[in-house]
Structure 1
């Protein structure tokens, strides 16, 4: 029997851009096939400490993508913790087809959402068929730990998938921070999968985990053949642990 849980996408970069249109459209259609509405929810919390112009940038970029994939777009300005207790926002995500966390600061996403009614509602919708995506900081925040590229310390994440830790923009960072990557691997949880996800690339969970997009996903730790690189279209045998 297949799970009623929605699709999950961990994205290295490129949210709302034309090159990610096919992936985002498929996430939405999978949810619609499970009875969810043709609704695309944008959550810009990762940029919550940035300027109003930057928030508007994400809003406009998401609206353009929604138009391309012919869906109703809802932009929820959840920029501080009190917003995650807002009953109107909680109601807005009911029966959504796709809920998308865009990039920015992964630690701030956790600070805003952890142990809030809105996060519990998002998990409930995901468990009943809504697709859920996180790009860059959004993907990082879904794990139990956030392993920073530029910072040496480890932060707590939201723990949606407790045994997966994500390094986004991996192909961009790999060339100039190989020592940092090795350091991150040492600081990663012993039983966790450490994943490097390239730009404009997603690792998508439906019945299995599959690489989608223009580039690659790198399993740096956690499988017998780690480190190993997977190209678009290949499946990866991760055994995820949902909270």
Structure 2
């Protein structure tokens, strides 16, 4: 991975929670130390189709976390693909400290952001030191392909981490959908490294991949070195 890039976090669950406050603070402060602004950009696209109550919930939770951390909260209402072409939203993320994609439907994230000016700017900011995080659907969307946990087929991801596929909520997913998880692990058509990330747990890359949180990161297919 590019040594000039910012931190990236793949989170199994718990965005904007007290349990993950330490991680989000560290991600933000790391970017600030590299000249980025004390801004916490929150992108609710993955769940924005669930209606106004869901949108307001994530907006409130994100603001509360930003206040606890002591950062400026920037909530970007990216609900449809046209929003990812809005120049005001593109400008809003320039120099951001932390950009966070919260959970929901990963396929929706990829469909709205792929090839858009906003996604291109997010990648550009990350490559110059902005920290980037995705929780659940957000983590899944960063890969080259997204596994069909909610759909019956795989779909194209955002391609930021082309060699990685993620199963979030892994400790819970084994109980919810054991047959589907087993099928993912046995899939011989993919050469990507398949990771299961437990709830309230993250896999974070700075100079190396490291685990954060109470649970485990499971390498289910392929190889990935995780520093202790």
Shorter-chain TM-score tier: over 0.9
Task: Report if the CA contact (8 A) 1:147-1:188 is conserved.
Answer: no
Task: Tell me the equivalent position of 2:174.
Answer: 174
Deviation at 1:50, TM superposition (A): 1.1
Give the 5 Å matches for 1:1-12.
Answer: 3-12=3-12
Task: Tell me the equivalent position of 2:25.
Answer: 25
Spell out structure 1 runs of 4+ moving beyond 3 A.
Answer: 186-190
Task: Tell me the equivalent position of 1:131.
Answer: 131
Q: Distance in 2 between matches of 1:187 and 1:82?
A: 35
Q: Distance in 1 between matches of 2:144 and 2:160?
A: 7
Whether 1:236 aligns to 2:226 is: yes
Q: Distance in 2 between matches of 1:148 and 1:206?
A: 29
Report the TM-score when normalising by structure 1: 0.90
Deviation at 1:185, TM superposition (A): 2.1
Task: Report if the CA contact (8 A) 1:114-1:158 is conserved.
Answer: yes
Q: Distance in 1 between matches of 2:151 and 2:51?
A: 23
Q: Distance in 1 between matches of 2:68 and 2:187?
A: 41
Task: Tell me the equivalent position of 1:240.
Answer: none
**Cα 1:199/1:85, change in 2 over 3 Å:** same
Task: Report if the CA contact (8 A) 2:44-2:102 is conserved.
Answer: yes
Q: CA RMSD in A?
A: 1.5
Deviation at 1:176, TM superposition (A): 4.1
**Cα 1:189/1:40, change in 2 over 3 Å:** farther
* SS, match of residue 29 in structure 2: helix
* SS, match of residue 49 in structure 2: coil
* SS, match of residue 211 in structure 1: strand
**Cα 1:208/1:166, change in 2 over 3 Å:** same
Report the TM-score when normalising by structure 2: 0.95
Task: Report if the CA contact (8 A) 1:165-1:188 is conserved.
Answer: no
**Cα 1:181/1:65, change in 2 over 3 Å:** same
Deviation at 1:150, TM superposition (A): 4.0
Q: Distance in 1 between matches of 2:188 and 2:61?
A: 33
**Contiguous gaps of at least 5 residues in structure 2:** none
Q: How many residues matched?
A: 226
* SS, match of residue 4 in structure 2: coil
Q: Distance in 2 between matches of 1:106 and 1:125?
A: 21
**Contiguous gaps of at least 5 residues in structure 1:** 225-234, 238-243
Task: Report if the CA contact (8 A) 1:28-1:38 is conserved.
Answer: yes
